[in-house]
Chain A
Amino acid sequence: MLSQTIVDFCRFTRAHGFGGGVLDTLEALESVRVVGGGDGTSFKHALRTSLCSSKDEWDAFDDLFDRFWNGTPGKKHQHQESGRDARGSRILAGLTGQAVAQSQNDGKAVSGASAYDRLVKTDFSEISGNDQSVLEKIAQRLFKQLNVRLSRRRKIVESRIQIDLRRTIRQSTGRGGELVDLRYKGKKPRPLRLVILLDVSGSMNLYSVFLLRFAHALQNRFMRTNTFMFSTRLVDITGALCSPDVTDALKALSEIRAAWAGGTKIGESLRTFNLLYGRKLLARDTLFIILSDGWDTGEPELLASELHTIKKRVRRLIWLNPLLGLEDYQPVTRAMAAALPYVDVFAPAHSLESLMNLERHICSMSS
């Protein structure tokens, strides 16, 4: 009788976002049997250690357990929000419903670049169809360079060739142990992971479409790329950019209205990133690229601390700022000044030429 209820409980946890399958249910049953009926707490502990497999699930467990075993059994299957789901849906709600109102409010508050400044920097908006194919080529080349020069981790640590003694000896037994042919080994090159965060707030308007194309090109040729765009909120656009045709991809993006235009909250967006994706995407083989002009309406302290977190975990943190293309530009906005200590490469991204330079930056640092 009890086992039937335990099976029900396992299904209940799964309905609330827990992973796992039949094996976990069996494990839970086994655990309860081993622990023995005894007192209620070890029963709960046994179920928890068997069914959970991450901190999120661990934190959500108590609540689910209470609801199932002490709550109202009749309604249990109608609750569909676990802690994780609730967080997701809150963000999703923000993306759709509130977005319009918010962008209107924030739009006024943004200090942004003045109209004159914007006119000076329209270089990308005049890109012709011809240049676009050039851009594709550059992105392709960039990707190749990145792949070859940055992903050979062993090469960076120690450049000497290693002899594969195992194969060498095996080979040599047939020749009476004479080491005639040496076999070598190298680290299997592992593709670098790219994480791109693209600022699409109002002040970036003129660049964002072009830079999205750039991100699209990178992502389509580079297996391990995750792309996000943000203004006041962070949106994962990796899926939307997956389409091989750039027009389709941009169209899909234009339907995600939430992140477009409006103000900029870089710090908060980065915090969202760290919370939701940080542990999955940040690693020593990650190249983290932020494309933003650094006009931030949020707290610079928050930006600095979130960047610090990222910086500690990635290979390189690169900030591309289209405004750097201006001759007299100084990164003195509060956000930019707070961010600079954590940035490995601070480079312009206002034209094709500047992107070529980025490539040089990356290569010179990895050799």
Chain B
Amino acid sequence: MAINPDALQDIEAVVQGFHKGGYVLDRALATSIYLLIKLNKPLLIEGHAGVGKTEVAKVLAAFLRTDLIRLQCYEGLDVSSAVYEWNYQKQLLAIRLQGDSDRPIEERVRHIFGPEFLLERPLLRSIRHESSPVLLIDEVDRADEAFEAFLLELLSDFQISIPEMGTIKAAHRPYVVLTSNRTRELTDALKRRCLYHWIDYPSREKEMEIVRTRLPGMDAELGTQAVGFVQAVRQMRLDKPPGVAETLDFVEALAVIGNGQLDARAVEETLGCISKSVEDISRIKAEGIEKLLYH
């Protein structure tokens, strides 16, 4: 049963709820999410790769005990894969089957453009859902501007027009989370529709807390050292600085490979968790793993 937004007491409840879902939330982001729920406005989250933008939507869905509907954006994303599509095969069959009937043509047309021939794609599904779902529009910066304009319409009215059927209005407005990696600037109009939050790399303390929450059985000493190392690596000028996801992989890998003690050799063997580009790895090695480890 989905949680009623009115039942949500205060921001602290959001922090607690997310903590249960394994997400360490600071007050600032908690406030944004609280407002997202209370005002039912879309929330645009920006930040570097791997800082947990997408995770917010997943945990939010669990927190509100509702479904998560995800739309992954990519270049060339169009209405037929984002909103709806007619089920052509079924339509063709239907036309064949009623070929000999004496129903008037208008009625036949109406029949094959009825709801049972409609294939829902994420956006349409989100507004036809029986209770307010969480709609995650992931990496919206990868879709093109034309699609953004379309989103704008959806996000302001929460309705979708299908020429053959008419307008479908959302019975329950979805909670919308948009994420962007800032590979391009989003249009002002879209940004203005949304609450905004920038997620930065976590501080050392916060990252430790994340490691503790996500990997409960972890050796504390090992975790501290690993986080310190990742924090030092982030200070370097890398093409792709490691995100929190990388830290978690790194700590897990160290626990499997290493002997519970963090040394240069163990780090070198697991460096692939932190950085996924040859250039960055050689940069880290050039900087000196020992130095980064015991800075």
**B86 to chain A: which residues have CB within 8 Å?**
165-166, 169
Contact B35 A177 (CB under 8 A): no
Kindly state whether residue A189 has any CB partner on chain B within 8 Å. Answer: no
Contact B184 A282 (CB under 8 A): yes
| Least Cβ–Cβ distance between B268 and chain A, in angstroms | 25
* Residue from the list A38, A42, A177 in contact with B99, Cβ < 8 A: A177
Alpha-carbon distance A169/B109, docked complex (angstroms): 10
Contact A49 B88 (CB under 8 A): no
Kindly state whether residue A52 has any CB partner on chain B within 8 Å. Answer: yes
**Listed stretches B55-63, B191-199, B203-211, B244-252; interface member:** B191-199
Kindly state whether residue B115 has any CB partner on chain A within 8 Å. Answer: no
For B27, B108, B196, which residue has the most chain A Cβ atoms within 10 angstroms?
B196
Given the interface pairs A283-B184, A308-B239, the reply to whether A49 lies near B31 with Cβ below 8 Å is yes
Alpha-carbon distance A361/B214, docked complex (angstroms): 52
Given the interface pairs A35-B11, A172-B95, A173-B105, the reply to whether A49 lies near B184 with Cβ below 8 Å is no
Given the interface pairs A20-B192, A53-B188, A54-B196, the reply to whether A35 lies near B95 with Cβ below 8 Å is no
* Residue from the list A38, A50, A172 in contact with B35, Cβ < 8 A: A50
Please provide the chain B residues from 72 to 114 with a CB less than 8 Å away from any CB of chain A in the complex.
75-76, 86, 88, 91-92, 95-96, 99, 105, 108-109, 112
Contact B34 A35 (CB under 8 A): yes
**B11 to chain A: which residues have CB within 8 Å?**
35, 42
Please provide the chain B residues from 1 to 59 with a CB less than 8 Å away from any CB of chain A in the complex.
10-11, 27-28, 31-32, 34-35, 38-39, 41, 43-44, 46
Please provide the chain A residues from 150 to 182 with a CB less than 8 Å away from any CB of chain B in the complex.
153-154, 165-166, 169-170, 172-174, 176-177
Contact B184 A280 (CB under 8 A): yes
How many A residues touch B, CB cutoff 8 Å? 45
Alpha-carbon distance A170/B113, docked complex (angstroms): 9
Contact A46 B35 (CB under 8 A): yes
Kindly state whether residue A88 has any CB partner on chain B within 8 Å. Answer: no
Given the interface pairs A24-B192, A30-B39, A34-B38, the reply to whether A45 lies near B28 with Cβ below 8 Å is yes
**A20 to chain B: which residues have CB within 8 Å?**
192
Contact A45 B32 (CB under 8 A): yes
**B88 to chain A: which residues have CB within 8 Å?**
165-166, 169
Kindly state whether residue B182 has any CB partner on chain A within 8 Å. Answer: yes
Contact B27 A42 (CB under 8 A): yes
Contact B182 A279 (CB under 8 A): yes
Contact A58 B35 (CB under 8 A): no
| Least Cβ–Cβ distance between B98 and chain A, in angstroms | 8
How many B residues touch A, CB cutoff 8 Å? 41
**B43 to chain A: which residues have CB within 8 Å?**
49
* Residue from the list B27, B76, B191, B192 in contact with A45, Cβ < 8 A: B27
Kindly state whether residue B259 has any CB partner on chain A within 8 Å. Answer: no
Contact A177 B32 (CB under 8 A): no
Given the interface pairs A48-B28, A279-B183, the reply to whether A35 lies near B194 with Cβ below 8 Å is no
- Nearest chain A residue, comparing its CB with the CB of B28: A45
Kindly state whether residue A41 has any CB partner on chain B within 8 Å. Answer: yes
Kindly state whether residue A284 has any CB partner on chain B within 8 Å. Answer: yes
- Nearest chain B residue, comparing its CB with the CB of A54: B191
Kindly state whether residue A186 has any CB partner on chain B within 8 Å. Answer: no
Kindly state whether residue B185 has any CB partner on chain A within 8 Å. Answer: yes
Contact B195 A169 (CB under 8 A): no
Contact A35 B192 (CB under 8 A): no
Alpha-carbon distance A308/B277, docked complex (angstroms): 13
**A46 to chain B: which residues have CB within 8 Å?**
31, 35
Kindly state whether residue A31 has any CB partner on chain B within 8 Å. Answer: yes
Contact A169 B188 (CB under 8 A): no
| Least Cβ–Cβ distance between A316 and chain B, in angstroms | 16
**A359 to chain B: which residues have CB within 8 Å?**
none
Alpha-carbon distance A27/B197, docked complex (angstroms): 15
Contact A27 B41 (CB under 8 A): yes
Q: Which of B's residues lie within 8 Å of A, judged by CB?
A: 10-11, 27-28, 31-32, 34-35, 38-39, 41, 43-44, 46, 75-76, 86, 88, 91-92, 95-96, 99, 105, 108-109, 112, 144, 182-185, 188, 191-192, 194-198, 239
